[in-house]
Structure 1
Amino acid sequence: MIKISIVKGFTLLELMISVAVVGIIASVAYPSYIDNISRANRSEGQRELLRLASLQEQYFTDHREYTTDMTKLGVPADPYITDSGFYSIDASVVGVTYTLTASARGTQATNDSSCLMLSITDTGKKAATSTNCWE
């Protein structure tokens, strides 16, 4: 009688190939993941710029001037730091025009280096450090 035994398991070569494949997939997927996270965080800065622009217009209606003091718009500090802390927003006023500028901070500044600054003016003109930041 012949006894056949089956050995179950992986060889070292099979294990090394599997680790290499997972490493290649991760190295391709990680930059895309970081890009998506950065764009999602950028939307917070865009949203807050639009909200503060609306508040500037309301302030102008009440006081016949724009303000550089963000606390007069009802936000807690000047400059205003967004809820997640990814952007610092401040205003500049020249005559009867204003520009709100959002500057990336912390990990957002590191991961989204092409869009470090977002801005909007009293006419609604949107600007940024790169052309595709307001997509």
Structure 2
Amino acid sequence: MTNVKKLINGFTLVELLITVAIVAILTSIALPAYTDFITRTNRTEAQRELLRLANLQEQFYVDTRKYTNDMKKLGLDKDPFISENGYYSIDAELDNGSFVLTAKALGTQKTNDSSCPSLSVSETGKKLPASGCWEQ
């Protein structure tokens, strides 16, 4: 009878720990970048809706010769208007025959986007804040 060694294939504990450490490092680098990307992508929803609602305000003005702060009069279902994915609440403020539409971040968007918690656009097309919150 001969002594036959059986080969056992597998990973050692050290190899497994090194792999877990590499994955953890890659995740710690990628996750903040991914979160920032998602936050900026969600912000474009507010920008799109602000410009669309500004157009609706102008149409309303052509019809009635005044602006409105009631989003329902613009044909929307809620006042204040909640964006499609629920990341922003949009409302209008009137001042001496002009309007300013403001989108305020909600929920996780508010938490993740502390540099731009709100975006605004006026009847003249002026976008606020101007420092990096609006995509060019």
- Using the size of structure 2 for normalisation, the TM-score is 0.93
CA deviations on 1:52-88 (whole Å, 9 max, x unpaired) are 0000001111111111111111111111111111000
* Count of residues paired in the alignment: 134
CA deviations on 1:14-51 (whole Å, 9 max, x unpaired) are 10000000000011111111111111111111110000
Cα distance in 1 between the residues matched to 2:88 and 2:6? 64
Aligned match of 2:51 = 50
1:7 alignment partner, SS class: coil
Cα distance in 2 between the residues matched to 1:80 and 1:9? 58
- Any unmatched runs of 5+ in structure 2? none
- Any unmatched runs of 5+ in structure 1? none
Cα distance in 1 between the residues matched to 2:3 and 2:89? 77
What is the root-mean-square deviation of aligned Cα atoms in Å? Answer: 1.3
Q: Percent identity?
A: 54
Cα distance in 1 between the residues matched to 2:79 and 2:19? 53
Aligned match of 2:133 = 133
Aligned match of 1:85 = 86
